[in-house]
Amino acid sequence: MTQEIRSLLEQFKSAIEDEAYDDAESLLDDLHDIYEQSNRARVADRAAAAAKNEDVDFADTRPLQMLSGTDSRTTFCRGGFFANAALFLSNPSELDHEQMIEYTEQLLEHERELEEARDAAEPVLNRVTVPPTVEIRELILGDDNITLGTQLDIEVLVENVGDEPASSVSLEFDPSAGVSLSSQSIDVGTLDADETERVTITAVSEEPDEQTISVMATTSGSDPVSDQRTFEVIQPLQIAVDALRSLATVAELISETEALPRHPKEQLLAEIEVVFEYIQEVAERIEDSSGAVPDAIDDALSSLEDVRSHFDQLTVGADPVCDPAANDFRQSVYEQIDAVHTRLNELSAEVET
């Protein structure tokens, strides 16, 4: 597994050097998959647990602690690599090739160090007893964004990485204020060595904005472990307001540009005003619960398509090389139109439920 990861990293580095970005993107996906299948976290967790065992000789604790520390540093470096690689591949022209290559080389070095640490710790792990130790392997939210009052599924996968059964395993959930759970405590019971248990609960938030779910896993004779996730709770009215803000940005971009003639610009702004009025109508109907919201959303989406089509016609044939400023303007308008479209579709889905 380690050799395969290093091979993929070397190939990724070569693809970046050769500006073969499609190949690099495919290799990045392969790396994601390999890391998902890897049992590295489990091996490092076993090493950390074994190092705490009072029966383990002092000389044996050093390679175990080295593996635990090296794994933490490599995990941190890995996160930075994936974030920078995704950013780089989304727009290679704006980022430094040499810097992306440097990020790759740094991760390669960390992977080499991790491999050496694992080789040194493996003989110790094979002869010592790892005490019962639970770890939270997964904490998965059904969605990162939900609307006010809708149900959110939460999955937790807990594992005993020790060599002996872990007794009295339990999960304690701690939500932020305004979030109610189907259960705040789950008694998992006993987990045998290497055994996992998947638990699912549901959450509903009556408060908007960012919310947090924390979970703590405990077992007899072992330190508790915890993890947390955040999600965004949006009010239907807030979705409409966000759509209006994005649409206002579209109008502002078009008003200030010199890339469009005056008369077509005025026509386009008049069409945007129609969409604006439809979305305002949606917001008003949501606020006073007057009904017929889906019809107003459909009218807004239809009018928004007219705006996009008209804008397409006015900017067709724009040369991003000869006129980069006009191209930037065009991309900015499309991004905001897409944002309005996304918000309206979210509203439509919410109204249907």
Same domain, 140 and 228: yes
- Which CATH number characterizes residue 159's domain? 2.60.40.10
User: CA–CA distance from 142 to each of 82, 146, 154, 353 (Å)?
Assistant: 23, 9, 6, 16
In angstroms, the CA 256 to CA 262 distance is 11
Number of domains in the chain: 3
Residue 112, domain extent:
2-127
User: CA–CA distance from 307 to each of 21, 247, 269, 302, 334 (Å)?
Assistant: 33, 11, 9, 9, 11
**pTM (2 decimals)?**
0.65
From first to last of its 353 residues, what are the pLDDT tens digits of the chain?
577 888 999 999 999 999 899 999 999 999 988 887 776 678 888 888 888 877 788 888 899 899 989 999 999 999 999 999 988 888 876 567 888 999 999 999 999 999 999 999 999 988 888 889 999 989 999 988 777 777 899 999 999 999 999 999 999 999 998 899 999 999 999 999 999 999 999 999 887 778 999 999 999 888 899 999 998 887 777 788 888 888 899 899 888 888 788 888 888 899 899 988 888 888 887 777 656 677 888 888 888 898 888 888 877 654 444 456 667 788 888 898 998 988 888 878 776 65
Residue where a domain stops, chosen among 202, 234, 266: 234
Same domain, 164 and 215: yes
Same domain, 170 and 255: no
Same domain, 6 and 93: yes
- Which CATH number characterizes residue 110's domain? 1.20.120
Nearest Cα to Cα of residue 249 among 332, 153, 341, 146: 332
Same domain, 88 and 113: yes
Same domain, 297 and 334: yes
Residue where a domain stops, chosen among 184, 201, 234: 234
Same domain, 265 and 216: no
Residue where a domain stops, chosen among 127, 150, 179: 127
Same domain, 256 and 296: yes
Same domain, 58 and 108: yes
